[in-house]
């Protein structure tokens, strides 16, 4: 199994997750309603941390729940965990092995909080430390760079949010994600071709905002892990406050700009980058105006709602990072210096 095959199997993994974990999600939501949950406290690392960024926006926008991203070192090295009263404590980890993430859930239980593990390993330390387990059902992920475990983590969060909201339309949209992902994957040959244009790229900026702030971070991470490109992610709003000074003629900028509440601000930034800086733009979008700003436009289905766009938009980003790695003559299966499981404390 290769990283490409794991990218390709994501729609079916999402299908399996939706069918196998719907009942579990209902049980978790029932437990949440019985408690005086006022906010979410979430611990994660690496790719899973980017899933946490998605949760930050989604649980706030659809469920009115503030979310705090944990600082695990407070629990391990400093031995000064914060007070977690009335929190839903969530740990996200594809392997469930990281001691620092486990320590956050253990402390949450010690403080009598409701705890939830989102992981691909149902027998892992993380799973055993939680009141509830949401098994992401991604199957064995052999590639070092995470792909299908990321999208199944996103879907797990989306399922939880939709169930908490109670609007049946949200759940209907979840099931449509499978076909939207399949449609995007059909662009594999096109993305392989355009990636050749960037084979000499050694640095880039990756922009996203709102729900796709998470996508910007995950795309940048894949570029770093696989093709060793110095890729820095930014919100388009933060980018305007100083870092835009990095851009000069021909500087490559990646952007995720689907239709939605933050689209106009993203479009304004893309037009500025193209007109005033002559930047080289790779844009993932379902709006013709954003695509028109790009030298390399990559389309996602027009009907994808903004709240689910991170599950769809990350697929062409994964393919771009994969094919860029091959174009550079690098090994996408064995990136240097990193391991599949990292046990941080």
- By annotation, the residues acting in catalysis are 340
Q: What is the CA radius of gyration of the chain?
A: 19
Q: Write out the two tokens for 279.
A: 């930047």
Q: Write out the two tokens for 34.
A: 């019985």
CB-count burial class (<10 Å; 0-12, 13-18, 19+) for 169: exposed
First-to-final CA distance of the chain? 30
Q: How far is the C-alpha of 331 from the C-alpha of 345, rounded, in Å?
A: 29
Q: How far is the C-alpha of 165 from the C-alpha of 159, rounded, in Å?
A: 10
Q: Which residue has the tokens 């949760």?
A: 55
Q: How far is the C-alpha of 199 from the C-alpha of 207, rounded, in Å?
A: 20
Q: In this structure, are strands 114-119 and 132-135 parallel, antiparallel, or unpaired?
A: parallel
Q: Residues 6 or more apart from 138 whose CB is under 8 A from it?
A: 13, 17, 94, 120, 148, 149, 152
Angle value at C-alpha 341, between 136 and 28, nearest 5 degrees:
25
Q: Is the Cβ–Cβ distance between 340 and 96 less than 8 Å? A: no
Q: Which residue has the tokens 């355009």?
A: 194
Burial 16-34 (b: 16+ CB within 10 A, else e): bbbeebeebbeebbeebee
Q: Which residue has the tokens 């027009």?
A: 302
Q: How far is the C-alpha of 254 from the C-alpha of 239, rounded, in Å?
A: 13
């Amino acid at each position: 199994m290769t990283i490409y095959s794991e990218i390709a199997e994501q729609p079916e993994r999402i299908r399996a997750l939706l069918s196998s974990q719907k009942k579990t999600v209902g049980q978790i939501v029932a437990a949440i309603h019985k408690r005086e949950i006022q906010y979410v406290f979430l611990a994660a690392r690496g790719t899973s941390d980017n899933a946490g960024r998605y949760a930050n926006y989604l649980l706030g926008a659809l469920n009115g729940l503030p979310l705090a991203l944990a600082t695990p070192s407070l629990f391990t090295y400093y031995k000064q965990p914060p007070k977690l009263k009335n929190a839903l404590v969530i740990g996200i980890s594809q392997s469930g092995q990281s001691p620092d993430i486990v320590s956050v859930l253990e402390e949450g239980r010690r403080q009598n909080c409701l705890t939830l593990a989102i992981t691909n390993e149902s027998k892992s330390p993380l799973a055993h430390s939680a009141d509830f387990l949401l098994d992401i059902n991604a199957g064995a992920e052999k590639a070092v760079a995470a792909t299908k475990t990321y999208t199944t983590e996103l879907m797990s969060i989306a399922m939880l949010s939709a169930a908490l909201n109670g609007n049946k339309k949200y759940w209907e949209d979840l099931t449509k994600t499978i076909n939207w992902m399949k449609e995007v994957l059909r662009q594999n040959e096109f993305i392989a071709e355009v990636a050749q244009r960037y084979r000499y790229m050694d640095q880039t900026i990756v922009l996203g905002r709102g729900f796709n702030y998470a996508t910007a971070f995950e795309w940048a991470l894949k570029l770093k892990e696989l093709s060793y490109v110095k890729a820095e992610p930014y919100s388009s709003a933060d980018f305007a406050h100083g870092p835009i000074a990095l851009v000069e003629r021909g500087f490559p900028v990646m952007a995720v700009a689907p239709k939605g509440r933050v689209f106009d601000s993203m479009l304004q930034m893309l037009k500025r980058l193209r007109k005033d800086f002559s930047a080289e733009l790779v844009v993932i979008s379902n709006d013709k105006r954003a695509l028109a700003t790009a030298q390399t436009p990559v389309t996602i289905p027009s009907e994808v709602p903004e709240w689910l766009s991170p599950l769809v938009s990350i697929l062409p980003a994964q393919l771009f990072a994969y094919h860029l790695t091959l174009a550079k003559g690098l090994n996408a299966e064995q990136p240097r210096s990193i391991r599949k499981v990292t046990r941080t404390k």
